[in-house]
Every structure is written in structure tokens, then in C-alpha cells.
Structure 1
């Protein structure tokens, strides 16, 4: 099964971001019927750790590792985050447009580091690329130049919100990706 660990933004933060995206060239193109693959706000998440394929019989080991990692990262208050700015990854057919995560990201980075340490100690897989908290807003590929949208996103600053929990998610890939929450831990 394909697994990742994420923080989900609240509906208010997503409504504000969705309104901003609708005003971007990419949002206008999507409204006009261009297939620019906007991310579904209902599935919005900030990936804290990506595990990839994990055998089902290792699921309890994943849960145990995450429980050990999250406990020491809890504070008296959950970390406060917000969306602002943005950029793109990749080029051509692999272009991804994203919005940056701002606020108490050092707490999110510490959590990501502890999760990786616990997964490693348990002999579980994870993606070891540097942690870069972001939220994907579109996968336009080479169907639309997003440079103007990147500039516009540079001036965006959404409302603050508390990251109240971290969630273990199973993703089912296909023409319509589907996410299933398997467990959650309060922050």
C-alpha cells in the first residue's frame, strides 16, 4: 500500500486559497475547460513524510513509529501555519504549481525529522529528499505557462491556521486518486 503522512489545512484556509487560484491564469484556464489538473481542495494536504509502498503487514510498525515520533513534537499549542507565496517544481510535462507553507514551519520540520528517524529505526521506507513544506495547487504540465501565476502567488498571504493533527494516509492511484485516513495523532 502507498502511504504518506500529512497535515490537512482547515476549510477556511482552503476557501481563501481556492478563491486566489480561481483568479490566476491557471484557474481561469480550468474554468474555460482547459485540462490544467487543478488539485481538489477536498484532498488538500501538506506532506510531512512520504513512505511510498509499504507491505500491509508492516502497517502496525508504521503506526508505532509515528506515535513515537509525534509525542515529543506536541506543544502546548499546535503549530500555526499559513499559505503564502509559491512556485513551481519541474518543467514541461512535469510542471507542478504550488503554494508555500509559512509560519511555524520549524516545528513541522522537526516533526518531519523525528518521523524519518523513527521510520529508519523501524526499517521502514521513506523518501529522504529534503523537507520542503508546500501544497500542490495544480499539475498543468506543458499545457499552460505558469510564470505569471508564480509572480501573482508571490504576493499572496492566506489566513493563519493551527495544524491540529498529523494523519497517516493511504493513497490509491488511478484516473481519480483517492485518499483514505488510516490514523491520526494530535499536535
Structure 2
């Protein structure tokens, strides 16, 4: 039968028979690799979260409403929001998308790095801002055994790279992300917030566990914050 000009040429199996659309879709689905968005972090204890949350609640970035200028298609810019306090954590390594089949291997790398480290005394202290404009990030800083923490970060990164696993290699600056203020506050209000954060000194705690988290945005609306789920945990010093 003569094929009409412009009509698609059907796929054919090795035997020469046409391959159905459903069969093609099945093959394509089988070749897709399932991934998880992973990162390694130290969780904050409840008392540290509660103390910091009390200060953050009085900042201009917390008291202001939604951004004044809608984004594309009338949606509010995702940059203008506070990070939920239950999502506060101290990121040590960001891996990004990792095949699900390598999750256990990734957890083993994290556990190996944790065994070589010791529990460390830390506290949330100070703060600042990364970037400028609507894409800036307001954060709380860290005090305590920071040198030991940086050594641990280097150990984690080295283990991931040795295992041919992805990891962000930007210069490490320990911090807790608090907000992406966008256009919610004026420059003067932002300066007031930064001054308050720089004077902050929270309760100290002993960090004794590394956690491998996965980040899941699910099917929430544009600009929704992710949910973090612990995939694996490893005690520092192999306790």
C-alpha cells in the first residue's frame, strides 16, 4: 500500500513488522531512569528551631504579605517566601538527581564519612544575605566547631566523587536558609532584618548524626516548598 506524502513512517521491529505505538511507549518508559533529588544535612534540634523561629517571626520578611508584583501568568513569584521552620537544616552536600538504584550506595558513602568524624558542638549565630534583588537569600549563620564541620564536608564530597556520584563543589559556607524575600521588603527593611540576624546567638547543641534527605515537590502549585524525607541516617563517630 502506498504511503501518503507527509505521513509518518512506522517503526519496525527487527523482523520487519511495524511496532505499535503502545509497544514503543513501553520501551521508552523502561529506558527512563528513576531518580531522587538528594542532599546531606545536619538537622536542627527542636530547641534551636524554636529559638530561631521566635526571632524570625519578628523580621520584616515574616510580617510582610505576598509579593506586590505578580509573575508570569499572574502567579506570584516563587522567590518571595519564608522557608518553613520544619524545613530548616544545615546542608553539607547537595547531590541533585541521583538514580534510585544508587540510593543505598550513597547512604554507605555518607555513613563512611560519618564514622571518621566526631560529634561537634554547634549553634546558629549571626546571619546575612546571598545575592541581590528578587533572587537573594536571607540566612542564619553558624558558630562552634565550624572547622570540624568543614572537614566533614570535604570528606563527604571526596567520598561521593570517588564513588562517581554527583555533588555540588561550590565553596562551602555553612548556613541555614531562612527566606527568599523577592520584592516583599524594601532595602531599608532588609537592612533592619540583617542587623537583627547579625546580633542573634542561639542555643548550642551537639550534632551527632548525618542525614541523607530526598527533596520532593510533589504536585503542589508553582512556588510551593518541597517536602524533605530522611532516606538514611548515620551517627558521627560511629556511635
* Same fold per superposition (TM over 0.5): yes
1:153 aligns with 2:193: no
Which shifted more, 19-28 or 5-14? Answer: 19-28
Tell whether the 8 Å contact from 2:111 to 2:233 is kept in structure 1 after alignment.
Answer: no
From 103, 106, 116, give the equivalent of 1:72: 116
From 83, 87, 93, give the equivalent of 2:128: 87
Taking the aligned partners of 1:48 and 1:27, their CA distance within structure 2 comes to 26
Taking the aligned partners of 2:96 and 2:45, their CA distance within structure 1 comes to 25
Partner of 1:4: 39
RMSD: 1.3
Map Cα deviations across residues 80-130 of structure 1 (whole Å, 9 max, x no partner): 111111001111121110000111111111111100010010000000001
Taking the aligned partners of 1:109 and 1:2, their CA distance within structure 2 comes to 23
Max Rg structure: 2
Partner of 2:143: 102
For structure 1, the residue ranges without an aligned partner over 5 or more in a row are: none
Taking the aligned partners of 2:125 and 2:112, their CA distance within structure 1 comes to 31
Tell whether the 8 Å contact from 2:83 to 2:225 is kept in structure 1 after alignment.
Answer: no
Taking the aligned partners of 2:204 and 2:111, their CA distance within structure 1 comes to 26
How many angstroms does 1:64 deviate by? Answer: 1.6
Tell whether the 8 Å contact from 1:91 to 1:141 is kept in structure 2 after alignment.
Answer: no
How many angstroms does 1:131 deviate by? Answer: 1.1
Tell whether the 8 Å contact from 2:41 to 2:89 is kept in structure 1 after alignment.
Answer: yes
Taking the aligned partners of 2:42 and 2:87, their CA distance within structure 1 comes to 11
Taking the aligned partners of 1:132 and 1:153, their CA distance within structure 2 comes to 16
1:166 aligns with 2:210: yes
Taking the aligned partners of 1:171 and 1:121, their CA distance within structure 2 comes to 23
Partner of 1:34: 66
What secondary structure is seen at the aligned counterpart in 1 of 2:39?
strand
Which shifted more, 97-106 or 36-45? Answer: 36-45
Partner of 2:230: 181
Map Cα deviations across residues 2-51 of structure 1 (whole Å, 9 max, x no partner): 0000001111011110011112222222xxx3354111111110001000
From 48, 61, 68, give the equivalent of 1:13: 48
Partner of 2:12: none
For structure 2, the residue ranges without an aligned partner over 5 or more in a row are: 1-35, 68-79
How many angstroms does 1:66 deviate by? Answer: 1.1
Taking the aligned partners of 1:149 and 1:176, their CA distance within structure 2 comes to 22
What secondary structure is seen at the aligned counterpart in 1 of 2:196?
helix
Taking the aligned partners of 1:19 and 1:117, their CA distance within structure 2 comes to 37
From 126, 136, 158, give the equivalent of 2:177: 136
